[in-house]
Structures are given as structure tokens and as C-alpha cells.
Amino acid sequence: MSDLAERMSLVKLSPTIAVTDKARRLKNEGKKICVLATGEPDFDTPDHIKKAAIQAINEGKTKYTAVDGTRELKEAIISKLKRDNNLEYTLSQVCVGAGAKQVLFNLFMVTINPGDEAIIPAPYWVSYVDMVSLFGGLPVVVECEQNFKLTPELLKSKVTERTKWLILNSPNNPTGVVYTYDELKGIAQVLLEYPRVNIVADDIYEHIIYDEKFFTIAQVEPKLYDRTFVVNGVSKAYAMTGWRIGYIAGRSDVIKAISTLQSQSTSNPNSIAQAAAIGALNGDHSFLKERTKIFKSRRDFVVEKLNSAPGLLAPIPQGAFYLFVSCKGLLGRSTKGGRVIDNDLDFTEYLLEDHLVAVVPGIAFGLKNFIRISYATSQEQLEIGCNNIIKACKILS
């Protein structure tokens, strides 16, 4: 008999972590795997941010802090939300946690009752579904194959009496799509008709954006301010995935509940990482422009390469560092060894085992027969990876 709680049947290992683990295992066996599956920038944390952390260590900022984050960090977050998003918050409306992942987890834990529904446009970031399910909620997945975007009509068709959440994520993981001002306005119009629906705006890729301008829904429709929870963090923009700092801003009753929950689980996020996050939010942002330029040139390179592979179709994304590529043109074809590619899982397995490239199957993000490619890696690795993928497609018969 298992000692595990029944609720663990609702959670699976994050598929992106699973792919990365498998690639690591193969690497340890001596295979030269090209990993295009990673969800973090390959750049280092900028020096001025590291210095802020070192200074904090030297000043002895090594003790517990307030559970919901230091006042100084919360003030830096409030200034950021005003500066970048024109949203005003007070200290009691902000909570800092160990990454955007933890604040989302806490948010759902303090708000979801069994049977509550959360509308999740697919493809989606893998953790939303498991988090909602874990607390007895019902993920209502909306397949958005057309441009990978939720439309007002699709949203309207999914709202019920039990809808508690709509989860928006722009720029999006895994597709890189960015919602425009008008698209958010259209979604907001529908939400105004349903005052009981709350909104998560997962803005973690806000600063990794190319030709579009970034908007978050509460900025586009101020009438939604009271029921929107903005989630963001320092992981992606500042290349600080390992530091584990994320934050949430919204209505103070919910934020207070999150802080209470955190007081009984992790307590405050790491004190040194909080100091580093202040350095990031208040510091020089000029490096972002350079890094975005590099990401954009990699994106263009990979899009062009993959669109030359027979059977693949790669749309051009406007943000984040992922491509969501259709492999529908390959279904039914056979490998040299006689295995038939029936779906994206078969294709990703074939790429990894026969051609040493690790990518994530679309089904992990709720839309099958696509693959997610991360271009947050060196140009050299991208060239090897793309060439191997092209070869893999060409020799299918």
C-alpha cells in the first residue's frame, strides 16, 4: 500500500523538468545531447545584481525577514508596477515568494474550493493545470489553435457559474505569443459581464518582447483592477532563475491570506536573493535591450531553419524565448528503424534518441502535435540542434 496522499495522483513531474532530466542522463552516459528544452536564459545574472547580493551578505542581511518580503523590496516592486505598468499598489497589496511558481501555488491554495473552475487557454504553462487540480479545482482547458490566443468568443463559451479564475500569460510560454492592447480589451469586455471571475496575469516574460508593446489586462481595463492578480518575478528578465524571487500584487484580503499561508510553509523568501532583486528592479536596465536583440536574432535564425525542414511549421513569436512548432506534417512517416511517428511524443523521442536533440512535446502544454523549442542557448548549439532536426525530418519516409 502506498503511503502517499491521494492528492499526489493529481500532480506529475513537470514535463519540461522530465525532458531536461532525461537529456542529462544521456549526457552522463557520454552522448552529446543538444538541449533545446530549457526554460531559462543562458545569460548570467548581471554584475550589479550580484554586487547587491554580496553587499547584503557583507552587511549581515542573513536573518529572517518579514514573511511577505522586506519593505524595501516591496517598495521596489510597487515602483516597478507603477513605472512599467501604470498600476498603483500599497504595501499590503504585495507579497514576495520563492519564484512566480510559489506565489501562483499559494494564490490557488488560498482561493480554490473543490469544484471551482479555472479557465486555462491552451497551450499553457505546464504548472497551472496541476496546481489548480491539486486544490480540487477543475481546469477548464480552452484549445486556442488559431494564433494560440484566447478570443472573447472562446472565453465566453467557457464561463460558467463556477468559474473562479481566468489565467492569462503574455508573452506566453510555450508559444511566445503576445496579446495586443486591443486583444486584451476584447477579453476584458467579456470579463466585465462576469464580475465573479478573477484574473491571473502571469507577466513573467514581460521584458522579453520583440516588435510588440507589452500590456497587462488591469492596465488596459482599470475596472478589472480589483479582481486581477499580477504575477511577476526576476527569473527571466534578469536571468535570476536560481535566486527564486517572484511576487504577486492584488487585493489585500487575498494577499494577506497568501502571507499567512507562507508563514506556515516557507516563511520569507531568501534574504540575500531579496536584496539582489532590489538591485535588479531599481538598477540599470540597459542590458535588457542587448539581450533582447540577441534573443531576437536567435529567434529569426531558428524560425528560418525550422521552416526549411520538411513537415515542420514554425510561426514567428513576438516574445519569450520559445517557438511552438507544428509537426503535423510528419505524422504517419517512418523512421529508418521502421518506427511510425504517430504524434508529438513519438517525434520528440525520435529526435532525442536518434538525433540527440532534446525538445518538449506540445502535449505537455495541452496541445498535441507541436514541439516546444527553447532558443535560450548559444548560437553554436542552435546551429547543431536545427541541423540535426532538419536531418531527422528529411530522412523520415
Which residues contact ligand PLP by CB under 6 A? 39, 99-101, 125, 169, 173, 202, 204, 233, 235, 241, 246
CB of 12 to ligand PLP, least distance (A): 16
Question: Cβ closer to ligand PLP: 39 or 46?
Answer: 39
- Measured between its terminal Cα atoms, the distance across the chain in Å is 47
Closest CB to ligand PLP among 321 and 347? 321
Residue 102 CB, nearest approach to ligand PLP (Å)? 7
* Closest CB to ligand PLP: residue number: 99
Cα–Cα–Cα angle for 85, 90, 96, rounded to 5 degrees: 80
- Compare residues 56 and 100 and give the one whose CB is closer to ligand PLP: 100
Minimal distance in Å, beta carbon 393 to ligand PLP?
27
Shortest reach from residue 304's CB to ligand PLP, in Å: 25
Q: How far is the CB of 40 from ligand PLP (least distance, A)?
A: 7
Our CB check for ligand PLP shows the closer of 133 and 235 to be 235
Instruction: Give per-residue burial for 94-104: e unless 16+ CB within 10 Å, then b.
Output: bbbbbbbbbbb
Kindly tell me which of 14 and 335 has the beta carbon lying closer to ligand PLP.
14
